[in-house]
Amino acid sequence: MTIQPPPGAVPTDPTPGPTDAPASAAHAGESAAYPQDVFIPGEPTDSAVVPEGDRVGKGAIHLVHLYPREMSIYGDLGNTRALAARIRRHGYSPVVHQHHPGSAFPETVHLVLGGGGQDSGQVRVEEDLEQIADRLRGLAAEGTPMLMICGMYQLFGNAFITVEGKRLPGLGILDVTTQGNAKRMIGPVVLDTEFGDVVGYENHSGSTTLGSGQAAFGTVKSGFGNNGTDQTEGARTGNVFGSYLHGPILPANPALADALIGLAAERATGRPFEPVAQDDAFADEARTRQVRRLVKR
């Protein structure tokens, strides 16, 4: 069956992975919640509505995707789809909000995602990001899990310095600074992280340097990472993760996805995360093959 977006929804290419298929056939063919939202194939029309009664399951987890139209390239929207699908499979109900420039920021937030974008996309979100900066800083300080990829990772840092030397201030949630370069860093990546080997694909011209005391997300086993020189990749402060890894990163690395969901579930319900065993055989096989192909033993 061909999935058709509704009028007003913006088609995207979420690059679905092995673990981000719709939770049930009933979800196929359904669409974005509101006309201004980006179309996410496989997500139901009521994805942004809190379920009533027994439909809520173990609890409702509110997930906010920042700027999905401007800042979701290289399949980053697949991270939202993967999380929503896995939240359902663990017996919870995802409430998927899309935050667009100029719109009201959701009142209830348990998990925040952001992706990469072109320079023009960063310019389009810059003014709105300044408006919601204090809210994001507050959520980060409270321990809200966040995953920021590429361009949004840079915007969550202290500053981005363009090739021409212009300094663009960031939110300062992560103690990182990025310098623009003429040469891009492109290719598959393997990281050593607290979640085991993490794989993905990087494509960025910015070289990011960690501040003193800033923890990296992972150590590069293959690829460029933050800057191609110090073997660091990404950054982590509290429950805020920044990384250059597209792919999207979460379908190929379900342990990271479940770590974010677990943190969000605890914030949403006040109880420890109650996971359900998942069949991640395809994701595990794909990740293992990438590691085997890229890392010399």
DSSP assignment, residue 132?
A: T
The two tokens of residue 224 are 């460029």
Please list, in sequence order, all residues whose beta carbon lies within 8 angstroms of the beta carbon of residue 44, skipping any fewer than 6 positions away. 26, 27, 30
**Whole-angstrom Cα distance, residue 31 to residue 40?**
6
Distance between CA 63 and CA 83 in Å, rounded?
9
Q: Measured in whole angstroms, how far is the alpha carbon of residue 107 from the centre of its chain? A: 20
184 is in an annotated binding site: yes
Q: Give the whole-angstrom CA distance, residue 76 versus residue 249.
A: 8
- DSSP notation for 139-163: HHHHT--EEEETHHHHHTSSEEE-T
- Which residues are annotated as catalytic? 150, 246
Residue 294, helix vs strand vs coil: helix
Length of the chain: 297
Separation between Cα atoms, residue 154 and residue 235, nearest integer Å: 10
Name the token pair of 216: 């990296």
- Known binding residues: 184
- Known binding residues for substrate: 184
